[in-house]
Amino acid sequence: MRRVFLYILLVFLVACEGKKPAEPKTETQPRAKVIVPDFNADSAFTFVKAQTDFGPRVPLSSAHEQCCEWMVEKLSEYADTVMVQQFRTRLYNNQGIDGKNIIASFNPKATKRIVLCSHWDSRPFADHDPDEANWNHPIDGANDGASGVGVLIESARCFHNQPLPEKVGVDIVLFDLEDYGPRQDQAEQYYDDRRNYWALGSQYWSAQPHVAGYKANFGILLDMVGASEPNFMKEYYSQGYAAWLSNKVWHVAQDLGYRQYFVNELGDPISDDHLPMNEIAGIPTIDIIDLRPESSNLSFPENWHTLNDNIENIDVNTLGMVGNVLMHFIYENQ
């Protein structure tokens, strides 16, 4: 009996030996290589100049209307959908005014959405110009407004030529009426801590987005991204609302060799279009903005809100650097 048992046990063990557990399968297909489109800095510069060629884009002016038509036409060449969100709001002096936000969408059915934004209007007052006689003159806003828009229109061209990953959708939002706050010498007269006289287009879109129930994973605002030797610090509110995002973007910039310009330091708090996006829309949004702590013009470039904010002071290399950071971040980090 014992021998039979041992024999049976031996046969069983041999049989089990022949049925070893299958080796776990390993992934043999390599991850598809991500192709990052080439951001054309010269093209971005052309788009900046096209805006300033219309003249100051002050709301209700013919230049404002003509530039709006041009931007819609240009973005329609690249985006899946383009729309103009018309709205009415009030200025600091309680005057009613009409505005137009422009929205260009890519992969509109994708549930993961990224907002890239800038403002396209220009300041009606050169109220920081060294010559007080110019304070009531409107500015070209080549850097303060047009530079960010130029980078985003070139980004739209890149998205068209090198489609985004299927799961990722991008909405380019160009805000109107960002820069129509009171003149600096009249600011105290109109001060009211219950109202924000700036970023009116962003306030409207954040409360009433172009799509009902619209949500985005995050947003990136571009403001004053065209001056030579920029100093892009981590803006204070951006770091407070979305430190994870600004840290990732700055990491990409530094990996691309832009450590000198994307400075790993905390900058001043700036009231800009990203505040309503964070506080009203609930979209974590950062502001890539040129901050100069040593400037005599608050914390901004010396040409800010002066007649010298013109196309002659736009650096194509800065436009290319910012656009290159955007492309690598969006295509390689989603």
How many whole angstroms separate alpha carbon 288 and alpha carbon 116? Answer: 11
Q: Report the amino acid identity of residue 97.
A: I
| 8-42 confidence digits (pLDDT tens) | 333 333 334 344 444 444 444 555 678 999 999 99
φ and ψ at residue 245, rounded to 5 degrees? -75, -50
| Strands (E) located in the chain | 81-90, 96-106, 112-119, 168-175, 218-223, 232-234, 262-266, 285-289
Residue 119, beta-bridge partner list = 175
Residues 311-334 have a mean pLDDT of 97
| 277-316 confidence digits (pLDDT tens) | 999 999 999 999 999 999 999 999 999 999 999 999 999 9
| 246-275 confidence digits (pLDDT tens) | 999 999 999 999 999 999 999 999 999 999
Which domains, ranges and CATH numbers included, belong to the chain? 34-332 (3.40.630.10)
Contact present, 39 and 158 (Cβ < 8 Å)? yes
Residue 105, beta-bridge partner list = 81, 171
56's CB contacts (< 8 A; 6+ apart) are: 63, 122, 123, 124, 138, 139, 140, 141
pLDDT at residue number 326: 98
User: Distance of CA 33 to CAs 166, 167, 239, 323, Å?
Assistant: 15, 16, 31, 21
151's CB contacts (< 8 A; 6+ apart) are: 44, 118, 222, 225, 319, 322, 323, 326
Rounded to two decimals, the pTM is: 0.90
- Closest by CA to 273, choosing from 184, 201, 183, 181, is 201
pLDDT at residue number 334: 84
How many whole angstroms separate alpha carbon 45 and alpha carbon 154? Answer: 9
How many whole angstroms separate alpha carbon 171 and alpha carbon 324? Answer: 18
Measured between its terminal Cα atoms, the distance across the chain in Å is 68
Q: Report the amino acid identity of residue 47.
A: F
